[in-house]
A and B are shown apart, each in its own frame.
Chain A
Amino acid sequence: MTDPQLTKKRRADFFTSILLLVLSVAMLAETLTFPMADSYGGVSNVWYVSPALFPLLVSGLLIVMALMLMVRAIRDGGMAEAIKGLPKTGQFLASENLHRLVVLIGIIAAFVYGLVPNIDFWIAAFAFLTVLITPFYIDDSRILRPLFGPFIIVSIIVFAVGRDPQTNGAILDGFVLAAAIIQNLIVALMSRNNALYFKKWRISMLSAVVTPLVLVPSFKFGLLVPLPVEGIVIDAMANVARVIGQLG
């Protein structure tokens, strides 16, 4: 009689409720270190003006809600399902849906934490779009292989090395740019015998080149917002803009 979809949801709820409980108890514990009725910064305190009051209320309510969620999850068979499912964790980890999710989150995180703070924004966006558009547009897991792994590795290297504008800025920019170009060439080679794939690669590549080519100047010259990192490409754009300005 039980709906498998519902049990699955309650299983997730069971895990969430544990996590929520841990988080809200941690929040409560941290809140208890706030000044309550003693003085802070020379101001003598009373309980109702204490900065702890609101977080206490929120964490208290969160604990109640987490417990309610847990009770419901146990009653609907979520805990039983969770315990029963533990041996099958491997199967869950191997599911394709999870893989795609991990790949997507990995690409976005690598871009934001690795490339954006360290690499010329045009190059970072070009590399990111190459990896995020091409495999999902062509939709063939073989295409993903030369793109995802290397992108993550390149981002980790960049993250670990860190940009120093005086010394390694241009080298890092060149490194990421070269990697992205090589990745594009590999995809082009892999899809050369398939007209549809080749067409899709061309569209992906063009989007990856043109998008930052439009966005970067609109922000830098239109909205006068500097980009997170301006390296070899954006400096070149600024030079071009200067020359055009002088001509005009």
Chain B
Amino acid sequence: MNFLSDFGVFGQTILSMLSDPLTVVLLMGSSFLGIVFGALPGLTATLGVALLTTLTYSMNLETALVSLISMYVGAVYGGSYPSILINIPGTAAAAATAMDGYPMARRGEGGRALGLTTTASFIGTIVGMLALVAFAPLISDAALQFTSYEFFLLAFFGIIISGTLTSKDLVYKGWIAGLLGLALACIGRDRLQFFPRFTFDQSQLDGGIEVVPVLIGAFALPQIIKTLRDRMSLGKPQDIKRMLPEFGAIVRNFKNIVRSALLGIGIGAVPGVGEDIAGWVSYGTAKNSHSNPENFGKGEPAGIIASETANNACIGGALIPLVTLGIPGSPPAVMLLGALMLHGLTPGPMISITNPNFLVQLTAIMVLASLAMWINGMFLAKHVVKVLRVPASVFLPIVAVMSVIGSYALGLSIFNLYLMVPVGIVAYLLGEMDYPISPLVIGVILGPMADENLRRALMVSEGSVAGFFERPVAVILIIAIVLTILSQLPAWQRAKGKIWAKLARRRTDAVEAGGGK
């Protein structure tokens, strides 16, 4: 019965949205804008969702979500255009697509490559959505049993795992970024006793720092500075010629698609680890399990399918922890969380009680967004390519003005702007030194949750930490945190290396002994 009523809401949502011409225009427009955002190198899905957040502030929640999700889906897909046509990924998520997309375009198969990407991205988004529908209620139900212990550990685990997996250099750079985010989150009056912390008698800081301007600063300014500083100029795009959906190739790659989508969902669900990593991991896996791995990098369609299915499947994956636990799974999902909070909706286990239809609505919107993306992709690809002629040095300053006015518009406070600039500069400098930015923003978002729940938990147990070890989920989380940290210690890695070496030696010994017989 429950399923039937859910399905009813699903159909109703789709119908009501499609019957409103304004929503349809918004859906197609945001999706197209998303593709353009993804396609322009220097603009990312995160930035697109950030700027759109300010524009959709005055809309109702459902309309705003249509716009934001279409932008997200479109931008993750749009990154593949310049990857394929000029060998410069539009977003980090599409970097792996360039490996085989560009060689294909050089061969004159640009249209075919784009057709493959379009359909693969569509399928990826839909599979991701199915995962969201299947898993979110289960996790939500389990999370309803969570108490302060679990929420504190969950927030902590989210920051640790995101720091561990996104750090390009030393792993503790990721953790430092996360801690800096938590430190920023401490600013303002604390939630339990309203004691002003680090406010330096500035009344504007009493309410804590505003999340959205921090996010815009952390994502937009580094991108603007980096691109303008490096004088990025784009080559001439390759020809597209004819573009078809390429269903045949998709059917032949069925196994590849399923694997890539599952990888994408899994990676998306890990806090802060997003589309870019999903694309690369899936590409690598497809290469290793392909019958002709040497074709990869020379224009192998399976490579494109792997990375594009995975990066779009990542969206649904990233929404799973966002909807169920209030922990964003990827950088654009961080932004999406910021947008939802602006609309007065705090995702988390309680959402299934306060907004029982939210998940179904979200699913319906994702279906529409992926359809819009596919239609836009199939019919408007040629026009999107024209956008690639706009030089970065012209559109990035425009984005700078939009970020400034966007940060201001949320709350009409110039103080937000004063905050945005230093955050952006620090984020830029950290990025230059190979610190990942997602743990930082996740820290800013999860900080209040971690703080409040730690103290609530200790209040319940009257100051005893034993409470953390008495609940099964809490214990699992503690073990996961300890293992994540231990696995990064040099001593542990050396020991692991030794064990592997010993095992390998034993195996070769055994093989040699066997061969000697």
Contacts and interface: CB of A to CB of B under 8 A. Distances in A.
A128 B412 contact: no
A203 B463 contact: no
Interface string A58-92: 11011001101100100000000000000000000
B420 A104 contact: no
Contacts of B175: 61, 65
Interface string B162-197: 000000011011011001101100100010111101
Contacts of B455: 48-50, 53-54
Contacts, number: 161
Contacts of B186: 54-55, 58
Interface in A84-104: 97, 100-101, 104
Contact of A69 (B170, B398, B405, B414): B170
Contact of A112 (B198, B391, B417, B433): B417
Interface stretch (A130-138, A148-156, A236-244): A130-138
Nearest to A207: B394
B477 interface: no
Interface in B416-440: 417-418, 420-421, 424-425, 432-434
A48 B459 contact: yes
B511 to A, nearest CB: 34
A1 B245 CA distance: 51
Given A9-B169, A40-B195, A112-B404, A54 B454 contact: yes
B400 A132 contact: yes
Given A65-B172, A104-B228, A204-B394, A223 B409 contact: yes
Top 8 A-B pairs ranked by shortest CB distance? A48-B458, A132-B397, A51-B190, A54-B451, A51-B195, A136-B393, A137-B393, A48-B463
A46 B462 CA distance: 9
Contact of B425 (A45, A105, A116, A128): A105
Interface in A25-56: 27, 30-31, 34-35, 40-41, 43, 45-51, 53-55
Interface string B392-403: 011001101110
Contacts of B402: 215
Contact of B172 (A69, A116, A137): A69
Contacts of A20: 176
Nearest to B425: A105
A180 to B, nearest CB: 14
Given A13-B170, A58-B182, 5 more contacts: A65-B172, A97-B229, A108-B221, A111-B404, A128-B397
B228 to A, nearest CB: 5
B432 to A, nearest CB: 8
A219 B393 contact: no
Contacts of A51: 190, 192-193, 195, 197
B397 A49 contact: no
A113 interface: yes
A161 interface: no
A61 B393 contact: no
29 contacts: A12-B433, A13-B433, A27-B183, A40-B193, A41-B195, A48-B462, A48-B463, A49-B458, A54-B190, A54-B450, A58-B182, A58-B183, A65-B179, A100-B228, A112-B421, A116-B404, A117-B414, A125-B401, A129-B397, A129-B398, A132-B228, A136-B231, A137-B393, A139-B231, A215-B402, A223-B57, A223-B58, A225-B409, A228-B414
A227 interface: yes
Nearest to A30: B198
Given A58-B186, A224-B58, A207 B197 contact: no
Given A49-B459, A69-B176, A207-B398, A41 B193 contact: yes
A62 B179 contact: yes
Contacts of A58: 179, 182-183, 186
Contact of A129 (B58, B197, B401, B450): B401
A174 interface: no
B451 to A, nearest CB: 4
Contacts of B454: 53-54, 57
B170 A72 contact: yes
A43 B463 CA distance: 17
B358 interface: no
A97 B231 CA distance: 11
Nearest to A26: B198
Interface in B60-88: none
Contacts of B192: 49, 51
B68 to A, nearest CB: 15
Which of A31, A139, A225 has the most chain B CB atoms closer than 10 A to its own CB?
A225
B512 to A, nearest CB: 34
Which of B58, B393, B434 has the most chain A CB atoms closer than 10 A to its own CB?
B393
A61 B225 contact: no
Which of B401, B408, B421 has the most chain A CB atoms closer than 10 A to its own CB?
B401
A143 B55 CA distance: 35
Which of B179, B180, B417 has the most chain A CB atoms closer than 10 A to its own CB?
B179
Contact of B401 (A49, A62, A128): A128
A45 B195 CA distance: 12
B157 to A, nearest CB: 14
A118 to B, nearest CB: 10
Contacts of B57: 223
B502 to A, nearest CB: 27
A101 B229 contact: yes
A212 interface: yes
A65 B171 CA distance: 10
Nearest to B173: A69
Contacts of B401: 125, 128-129, 211-212, 215
